[in-house]
Amino acid sequence: MIWNKEAECMSQDEKTALQSKRLVELVKYVYENVEFYRKRMDEYGIKPSDIKGIEDIDKLPYTTKDDLRDTYPFGLFAAPHSDIVRIHASSGTTGKATVVGYTQYDIDVWAECVARCMSMAGVTKDDIVQVAYGYGLFTGGLGAHYGAEKIGAMVVPMSTGNSKKLTTMMVDFGATAIACTPSYLLHLSEVLRDEGMLDKIKLKAAICGAEPWTEKMRSEIEQRLNISAHDIYGLSEIMGPGVACDCQYHEGLHICDDHFYPEIIDAKTLKPVKDGELGELVFTTLTKQGIPLIRYRTKDLTSITREKCKCGRTSARISRFKGRSDDMLIIRGVNVFPSQVEAALVEVKEVTPHYMMIVDRDNNLDTLEIQVEVDKDYYTDEIRGIESLQRKIAQVIQGALGISARIKLVGPNTLKRSEGKAVHVIDNRKLY
């Protein structure tokens, strides 16, 4: 394993034939097994037999995160529960998570895709791979874990958290590759430096993703640790990590496009844009059984090229991400929507729903401050209770977002009201 030449280097004609065959099967499968898709296709007047090949994909309607939320938790599952062997979830736009389910076949395809990605980073069965993404409902930990095992590497399932323990084990076990978020890896490089352990590590590659990062961050990581750092992309709705990754030439991320059919659309008109032009990435899962999605709008902004790469792979490549077409933030690797803060604040009677999120990076770790306006009556009457109120809000926010935030209480009518669309976020990290 795992240069899967048959899948990664097929000719355009072979690829189109395979994608067409898979799309036709998929449309029939979702029509027969998912009420949501059957109704939606009926609404659009589309029959499965209208889809004859990949060229017909734009006849099909888009799927969005709201569709997953509206059918929470299992409404879009196509396979019976007895065939689902794993669940993952990520943040929804408000309180509810978006839940995804995998059959054993899906888990196998996922491991294969992550293995392809790790192979692009040079990982082989002789490597020791430290996985420092979170394990649990988040797809990062288990996704990277199964991919590295598929290659046959020795996996160290560290998860995130205790940086000193992690760096000590990195040295003691002689880890040669690490999978974690890029900001966490920069942080680890500082811990290694401070502990005087930089010259004791055996790392040669990193597989970093789950959050936006820049070329500058990549060079910094590569120089500090003397390794090659690779950009791995994915999202739980489509699978998790392993949807795409960059090879040794770093000229875009190779998509596993025999499994995930990519389109780039204009986020406003929803019409396709030309190759090379910036737009929103849309995926159709060509082979998924658990929760197959048709034309899922990722909201991630990028461009695509279908030219063969110097490495020999013919898979379509996407450029480093340039932003999102919605307001989702990724803070300490966790997806956060401002609407979740709003929904949480409604529970606290002493404050108004006016808030401002200030995101920054301190020592390569993300910080979040939320400024919240105290309600007029409460502010004047019970001003001494403010510290306890801060704690109370911090708890509500932690519960809703899954990350901690520093709460700053401000007086009534302090936060600027905007005339147009409300601005709730100041992001000083400059990640795109």
The Cα–Cα gap between 132 and 155 comes to: 11
Would you give the binding string for ligand DLL spanning residues 294-313, x where CB under 6 A is met? ----x-x-------------
Interface pick for ligand DLL out of 335, 340, 370, 424 (rule CB under 6 A): 335
Nearest to 49 by CA among 67, 32, 63: 32
* φ/ψ of residue 365, rounded to 5: -110, 135
- For position 236 contacting ligand DLL by CB under 6 A, the verdict is yes
Environment class of 119 (CB within 10 Å of its CB; exposed 0-12, middle 13-18, buried 19+)? buried
Q: Among 210, 344, 351, 396, which residue interacts with ligand DLL (rule: CB under 6 A)?
A: 210
Pairing relation of β-strands 205-209 and 228-235? parallel
Candidate ranges 204-212, 285-293, 381-389, 416-424; the one touching ligand DLL (CB under 6 A): 204-212
Q: What is 57-79 written as a DSSP string?
A: GGGSPPB-HHHHHHTTTTTT--S
Would you count residue 101 as binding ligand DLL (CB under 6 A)? no
Strand pairing category for 329-331 and 253-255: unpaired
Of 20 and 119, nearer to ligand DLL (C-beta) is: 119
* Residue (54 or 318) nearer to ligand DLL, CB: 318
Residue 428: enclosing H or E segment and its boundaries?
A: none
Is 211 a binding residue for ligand DLL by CB under 6 A? The answer is: yes
User: Does 235 sit near ligand DLL (CB under 6 A)?
Assistant: yes
CB-wise, 238 or 415, nearer to ligand DLL?
238
Stretch that binds ligand DLL, among 115-123, 157-165, 229-237, 409-417 (CB under 6 A): 229-237
Who contacts 105 (Cβ-Cβ below 8 Å, separation ≥6)? 287, 289
- Are β-strands 365-374 and 406-410 bridged in parallel, bridged antiparallel, or unpaired? parallel
Among 92, 147, 209, 262, binds ligand DLL (CB under 6 A): 209
Which of 139, 160, 167, 340 binds ligand DLL (CB under 6 A)? It is 139
Tell me whether residue 15 or residue 299 sits nearer to ligand DLL (CB atom): 299
Give least dist CB 242 to ligand DLL, A.
8
**Total number of residues binding ligand DLL (CB under 6 A)?**
23
Which of 167/335 has CB closer to ligand DLL? Answer: 335
HSE of 308, CA atoms in CB hemisphere, 13 A: 10
Sign of CA dihedral 411, 414, 415, 417: positive
Identified binder of ligand DLL from the candidate list 102, 135, 184, 233, rule CB under 6 A = 233
In 154-255, which ranges are E strands?
A: 154-157, 177-180, 205-209, 228-235, 240-246, 253-255
| Residues with Cβ within 8 Å of residue 341, at least 6 apart in sequence | 355, 357, 370, 397, 400, 401, 424
CB nearer to ligand DLL: give 20 or 181: 181
Q: Report the C-alpha gap between 298 and 302 in whole angstroms.
A: 11
The single residue among 92, 101, 147, 234 that binds ligand DLL, judged by CB under 6 A, is 234
Please give the single-letter amino acid code of residue 173.
F
Q: Mark 168-197 with x for binding to ligand DLL (rule: CB under 6 A) and - for no binding.
A: ------------------------------
* Residue whose CB is nearest to ligand DLL in the complex, by number: 209
User: Quick one: tokens of 5?
Assistant: 């030449």
Q: Which stretch binds ligand DLL (CB under 6 A): 56-64, 135-143, 267-275, 337-345?
A: 135-143
Catalog residues that contact ligand DLL under the rule CB under 6 A: 90, 133, 138-140, 209-212, 231-236, 240-241, 298, 300, 321, 324, 330, 335
